[in-house]
Amino acid sequence: MGDLRELYQTTILDHNKQPRNFRVPERANRRAAGHNPLCGDRVTVHLELEDDVVKDVGFQGAGCAISTASASLMTQAVKGRSLAEVGKLFDSFHELVTSDPQRAVDAGRVGKLAVLAGVREYPVRVKCATLAWHTLRAALGGSHEPVKTE
């Protein structure tokens, strides 16, 4: 179980059990759906975007612990951020979960999201962690095509 605790950190288990911002924001004006055909995970990200700032964000859907926790943590991380900041965070997060497992985690750039670094050891689970982020990007880009990880 030792290795698995690295993947399923307490924060992840907590966000899986009690996802934050699991709702549709009242004044949402952007939305995108994502789907991981491999495991059937589905997520919809709702945004309230105003003056290039994410005023509010929520998500809905059903998925594994990694995808649910990642979506939940993402909503906390991007709320109140500008589009440029969200874009940077997307890149940093993507780098975090796809980098060499031996590399040290630069928590300064990703903050709380660093708890998801464990997926680097499980290549098939990386898509679980990134599904919500790709969906977020689609919502920000105004894309109406559902996002697919495959």
CB atoms within 10 A of CB 23: 15
- Sign of dihedral through CA atoms 105, 115, 108, 130? positive
Residues that bind another protein (CB under 8 A): 1, 3-4, 7-8, 13, 16-17, 38-42, 62-66, 122, 125, 128
Give me the least distance between CB of 54 and another protein, in Å please.
27
* Nearest by Cα to 64 from 36, 104, 88: 36
**Looking at beta carbons only, is 47 or 66 nearer to another protein?**
66
Question: Smaller CB distance to another protein: residue 20 or 42?
Answer: 42
CB of 124 to another protein, least distance (A): 8
- Residue 4 CB, shortest distance to another protein, in Å, is 5
